[in-house]
Amino acid sequence: MDIRQLKTFWTLASTRNFSRTAESLNYVPSTVTMQIKALEEELGIKLLDRLGKSVVLTDAGRRFLPYANKILNDVEEARHAASQSGELTGTVVIGADETLCTYRLPALLRLFRERYPHVRLLFRPLSSHNLKQSLREGNADVVFILDEPAVSADLHTELLLDEPFLMVVSPDHPLASRSTLSIEDFHREHMLLSEKGCSYRTYFYRTLLRKGADSLTELEFNSAETIKQCAMMGLGIALLPEMAIKGEVERGELIALPWDLSEIRFATQMLWHQEKWISPSIRAFMELAGNVLKRSS
């Protein structure tokens, strides 16, 4: 096997698509197919299956991926050590959910690109329940999650920033002018919620039910920005992290309801696998992420 084959396999495992892999590596699709076939023949195992236009790793492919990743990282480290310029090179694969992609990470990614122009960033937006798995399967180097602080047996977790939540409505909503609320005020209201499986949606909904709420009508969305826009249009009550709605609340476009959410403690967190070798480029990204996001407000 050679480095090009391993890089092609690693990229294909990340994109799950032959055309995108070819475009990313400046190959024609047939070159990707040829290199994967040659790698499979040399290893004597099938690394992936094609399902329509998408690619799925086999069990053997998932087991092989961390080793391919380590070899590529070692090569990057060697190139960096031998480089006369001393400039960081290599690739960093990042994963995050939609909310953090939109409201926390753009400034970080721009600053990293300015400081380390020769490091290639691959960004993978993922649903919340797939983020930790992407680390365990070697598909991402670092992921960011918005969740309750937690400890994992195989993942390192760095808590970066506590994220308060607000319950908000449009200025013309019937509850917007209330100075106090009881659980009965939520009966038969339309709740604008994130998709099932989202940790803060699950926690919030459990809390309302525990306090006696019933007859709630749920409208489910997979985007915090969509929830915000629907709330501003008067479609219902939204629960969102303050980072997503701070400007709208300050301008009076959304009204924060007087409902105690102090028991909901969620935070922006950075995770990476305990067994992963951290290359100089990944280390630089993690250090910058810690500095930038801990200063966010």
| Domain spans in the chain, listed from the N-terminal domain onward | 1-86, 92-151+268-297, 165-260
Cα–chain center distance at 2 = 31
Please give the CATH superfamily to which domain 92-151+268-297 belongs: Periplasmic binding protein-like II (3.40.190.10)
pLDDT value, residue 173? 95
User: Which two three-digit tokens encode residue 80?
Assistant: 């960096």
Region 165-260: CATH code: 3.40.190.10
**Residue pointed to by tokens 């909901």:** 264
Per CATH, the architecture of 1-86 is what? Orthogonal Bundle (1.10)
pLDDT at residue 88 tops 60: yes
Token pair in block for residue 133: 């798995």
Instruction: Specify burial of residue 23 (Cβ count, 10 A radius: 0-12, 13-18, 19+).
Output: middle
DSSP-derived secondary structure letter, 216:
P
Query: Residue 114: is its pLDDT beyond 70?
Result: yes
Which phi and psi (to 5°) does residue 48 adopt? Answer: -155, 160
Using CB atoms within 10 Å of the CB of residue 162, give its burial: 0 to 12 exposed, 13 to 18 middle, 19+ buried. Answer: exposed
Question: Is there a common fold for 1-86 and 92-151+268-297?
Answer: no
Among 218, 281, 238, 266, which Cα is nearest to 89's? 281
Q: Which residue has the tokens 């951290």?
A: 278
The mean pLDDT value for 151-159 works out to: 89
Whole-number pLDDT of residue 83: 63
Contacts for 167 with CB less than 8 Å, ≥ 6 apart:
237, 238, 239, 256, 257, 259, 261
Question: Torsion angle of alpha carbons 95, 97, 103, 106, nearest 10°?
Answer: 20
pLDDT at 84 over 60: no
Q: What per-residue confidence (pLDDT) applies to 51?
A: 79
Q: What is the mean pLDDT of residues 239-256?
A: 94
**CB-CB contact of 287 with 281 (8 Å):** no
